[in-house]
Every structure is written in C-alpha cells, then in structure tokens.
Chains A and B, each alone.
Chain A
Amino acid sequence: MAKCQMKKGFFFLRECENQATTTCTVCGREFCNEHMRIIPGKNQPGCLDCLGKQMQTQKDEKARKKDDDYDDYYYDSSWSYGYRYHYYRNNNYSPWYDGDDLNDSYYSELDVRSFDDKEIDEVGADDSLDYQAEANVFDS
C-alpha cells in the first residue's frame, strides 16, 4: 500500500509519514493504523476525518442519544479531526500547509496557506531555535 493519505494537524496541516494499512469504508482513501478507527455500529474501518465529521454532524443535529455510540471517541483524536472543519468554517481560519501534495480532492474545500509564499530578501537569516525570554509578554 502507499503512504497514509491523512493531512494531520489542526492549525498546521502536514503529511502523515506512515505507510497505509487499511482503506476507509466511507471515503475510500488509504490510511495508517494511527488514523483509522472502527465506526460505531458498523464495525467497519473509517478514517479520523470521516468519523470526526460524523460525530460533528450528529452533534449539530442534536440527535445525541443517551447512550451515544460515539462516546468512546469523544475524547479521542477523532473529535479534533471532525472539529477542525467546523472551526475553519466558523472562524474563517486558513490552516498553514507544510507539504507538497494537496491534490487530494478531499481537502479541496480548505483554503490553506503555504510557507512557499515567502518573499526573498537578503542573506543572513538567523536559524536559532532558542526562545527569547526577554520577549515574553505572557508574564503577568
């Protein structure tokens, strides 16, 4: 199988480096184990994107039953995978994309921003990763 097709992340989207192991029964894309779960009630594999979207839809429709099928996933990564689409739409947020393969039609609705849009200036960028304590405004 090929590489996992998940774009992972919330504010920053990026490629998953793992090899795909299973096909999502909802969207038909291939994913690694980390990005797959069993869809409640169907006993079939589904990716975090599809599962998360189903969870959000169920919540939006206020159709949550007392014994919610998705309870086990509410505190799982699948929640944030579903919630990110809701978040992008409602907050007009365009996630940063750090990768080179955004041809997947599944993500075509996303308005991503890329670091490739950098302008070129002069030589001598400082690559230090050190955090400057004196610049901290979070001290009060």
Chain B
Amino acid sequence: MTEQTRIASTFSVLKEAGHLAFMPFITAGDPDMAATLSVIRELGDRGVDLIEVGFPYSDPIADGPVIQASYTRALDKGLHVNDIFDGVRSLPTEELPPLVAMASYALLFRRGVEEFVKQAVESGFAGFIIPDLPADEAGDVGKVVQSHGADLIQLISPMTPKDRATEILKAASGFVYCISVAGTTGVRDDLPPELTEQLNWLRTQTDVPLAVGFGIKGPEQVDILRDAADGVIVGSAIVRMMAGLGTSPEGDATALAEIGTFAESMVQATRKK
C-alpha cells in the first residue's frame, strides 16, 4: 500500500469526522500575488480544507465570465507562471490546507509537463486540475503527477455517459471533480436533481471522494449534497469578492474580511450536523 497523498489524507480525516470538505477557488495574481497570498492565509485561518488556485490563461474556454475577467486582469498586469510558483513557495504550505493548481494544459505543455509539475510540487502544490485535458489524453500526465507524489484530479460532467465515467474513474486520485451544471463556471440558483442521481451512482463505482463544483452558491446548498458528496467547491463567488482587493488599505481589509466571513460560513455548513 502506497502512502496517502496530502489530498487523500485530508479527505480521509474529514470523512472520519463526518465532515464535507470545503474547497474555495481563487485566481492567482488578481489583483497581484501579494493579495493572493494574503487570501490564501485568510482562507487557511478560517479553516477551509483545500484551496484551488487558478493559473490565469489567455483563452480559458472552461471558465465563466467572472473567472475569465479575473484572468485577463492578472495577465494584463504581466503575471507569469513563475510569479505564482515563487509566491506559493514563500508560504508555509505544510501548515496550510493542500493547494490544488488549476491550469490549462496549454501552460503545462509549453513549459513541459515534467518541468511544470516538478516546479509546482516543489513550490507547494499538492494536486492538479487540468480542465482542458480529458481523461483520454491524460495518461502520461497522470504518471508524471503521481511520480511527484501529487494527485491529478479527474473531472466528470453531467454529460458524461456511464461507460465513459467508468473509464475516467480508473485514473481517479485525490478526489473526483463533479461538474454540477453543464456549462462553464458561474453562480446558479439551484442544483439539478440529476446531479444527486449521478453522484449516488458514482458513489457505487468508486471509493475516491466526490467533490462538487461549478454553480455552488453558498451555505444553503451544502445540505442538499451532504449525503451524496464528500466535498464542495466554490469558485466565482470568491473571485468576485477578490475584485475588491488592491484598491486601498481599507478596501483590502473589507474584502479580506468578507472573503473570510464567507469561507467560515461555508466551513461551518460543511461540518457534521
């Protein structure tokens, strides 16, 4: 039996305690890396379980308008991949929740998958979500990620047929990212019943934890998922709050407090009732 990855052991501990994982998404470098690092610290202090860090990309087809706009802002200010690695490297990542890098395959391929993964893991990332790398193309990348002791997270969408899902699950590690609404990231008002059905079925097919993302709005939606999922991902809601950063010291304090309060409410909602 191989040693558990950081992400796997995080989920094990939570499951043991009867909690769901709460995993917020933030964009790196919007408005700058200093702000990103202070948000990561704030989220850690508020007790979130994992943090997904988005690498700005020029053509993010998998993301909605809020996240794309944040990517554009960061890139317009000249953010580079190395700035993200350097910033994260300066954090005491072993004391923080596991960080998961969400990056387009375009960025990994350009640097070289081996080099990108090596540098990311060395700087403190524990896992990778590559939204435009479908399982069919992910075999070699998965091996590289695994060789560095990290997890390559697989995605399953409501459009994924069962036979395809079965194939995807064979490569699953860390957790499975279940996209809850067909389409791109963004805030929606409700969760479709088909999602619960799909999660229940996936549960019979794998022991790897199931995390639900895309369209989760806030604490009130957590209970619907409590029996079906192991974790909850919130994306654009926090990115929107981060837009208040970088204006003034007072603005920064207000935005940071708003993010912290929201994160804490989500952490509470995801704990065992």
A and B part of one assembly: no
B contact set with A: CB distance below 8 Å: none
A contact set with B: CB distance below 8 Å: none
